[in-house]
A and B are shown apart, each in its own frame.
Chain A
Amino acid sequence: MTLWAAVLLSSALVYSWKLFGYLVPERFVSSPKIKDLASLLTVALLAALVGIQTFGTADGISLDARIPALLVAGVLFYLRLPYVVVVALAALMAALIRLLF
């Protein structure tokens, strides 16, 4: 399979999940319990991505400048700084650590 075919096929597969969710009959999903489940899933999957993005590498995990950067981000979110500012400062923190060490 060519790389182009793979790009298009995987895009279609990812889109099919998105569309599928809108085609599930509403009576199955309108209860507060289902909304509760959707909230729990959102938090679980996004938190998993935080972990993967902080520690993950192509072939395992690594402890590096991303960890202090994430800690800084946590403190700044706690201090209620704007989202973009926090993300930019986290990037700056990681870049500075890599520059200095």
Chain B
Amino acid sequence: MKDKSQSVAAVSVGVGVATGLYGISFGALSVAAGLDIWQTMALSLLMFSGGSQFAFIGVVATGAGVVPAIISAWLLGVRNGFYAIRMNPILSVSALIRPLAAQLTIDESNAVSLSQEPDQKKERLGFWLTGIAVFVFWNLFTFIGAVLGSQIGDPSDFGLDAAAAAAFLGLIWPRLSQSKLLLLAVASAFLATSLSIVLPAGVPVLLTAFLALGFWFYGIRRRL
């Protein structure tokens, strides 16, 4: 048992550190987009959702104004609501702890928890450890990135943009051994990338939820 918990802890801290790596990228890009260090830190502490944060500063950087930036961040945050729906019965926390659990409900904590199925104890452990590890490292590295912002120049010179892509791939990798989920993943990546040419930031990612719905309905019909 102890052995298993340790492996969950190792994955959680690993995910936290890896996420922190592109926290540097976020901090540097945010300052480059025109936010100051404290606005950048407010996003990492309060919004605390990488996709939404990158969308927010990305839109601000294009000069499109703050309203589309707010809408993009908000749309990209919808998926956290789905993660929360999944985590709620697994965590079964009190009303007092719930606001805290909500803040830590993000891609990474949900994904690590999901990878521990069907052991509910490890699903809970994975959620909390990953949520806390990512919160600590994400904010620490955001700060470092924002401070270094002007000095390190372009974060892509250090491959930090590629680190973000690899980090997301690693989160879904364990699920891709199921052919249904592999097909869904390839289709979603292709759809979102294609649509990003014509649609505003944030929307293409959200639209892939309809693909997931399609797969879901197909699965239910086949079982009937």
A: residues with CB less than 8 A from B are 1, 3-15, 17-22, 24, 26, 29-30, 33-56, 58-61, 65-66, 69-70, 73-74, 77, 82-84, 86-88, 90-96, 98-99
Q: Evaluate contact between B205 and A48: CB separation under 8 angstroms.
A: yes
Q: Evaluate contact between A47 and B162: CB separation under 8 angstroms.
A: no
What DSSP secondary structure best describes chain B's contact surface? helix
Query: What is the CA–CA distance of A38 and B170 in the complex, to the nearest angstrom?
Result: 18
B148-168 interface (Cβ within 8 A of A): 156-168
Q: Evaluate contact between A56 and B211: CB separation under 8 angstroms.
A: no
For B62, list chain A residues within 8 Å (CB): 58-59
Query: What is the CA–CA distance of A54 and B190 in the complex, to the nearest angstrom?
Result: 11
User: Would you call B15 an interface residue if the criterion is a C-beta within 8 Å of the partner chain's C-beta atoms?
Assistant: yes
Q: Evaluate contact between A14 and B175: CB separation under 8 angstroms.
A: no
- Closest CB in chain A relative to B138 CB, distance in Å: 14
- Closest CB in chain B relative to A23 CB, distance in Å: 8
Q: Evaluate contact between B88 and A29: CB separation under 8 angstroms.
A: yes
B43's nearest neighbour on chain A, judged by CB, is A7
Q: Evaluate contact between B89 and A17: CB separation under 8 angstroms.
A: no
**Interface size class, chain B:** 35 or more
- Closest CB in chain A relative to B144 CB, distance in Å: 15
B62's nearest neighbour on chain A, judged by CB, is A58
10 nearest interchain CB pairs? A21-B84, A94-B159, A51-B189, A48-B192, A94-B162, A90-B166, A91-B159, A69-B162, A14-B77, A47-B185
For A82, list chain B residues within 8 Å (CB): 14
User: Would you call B39 an interface residue if the criterion is a C-beta within 8 Å of the partner chain's C-beta atoms?
Assistant: yes
Q: Evaluate contact between B98 and A22: CB separation under 8 angstroms.
A: yes
Query: What is the CA–CA distance of A16 and B52 in the complex, to the nearest angstrom?
Result: 13
For A15, list chain B residues within 8 Å (CB): 46-47, 102-103
For A59, list chain B residues within 8 Å (CB): 62
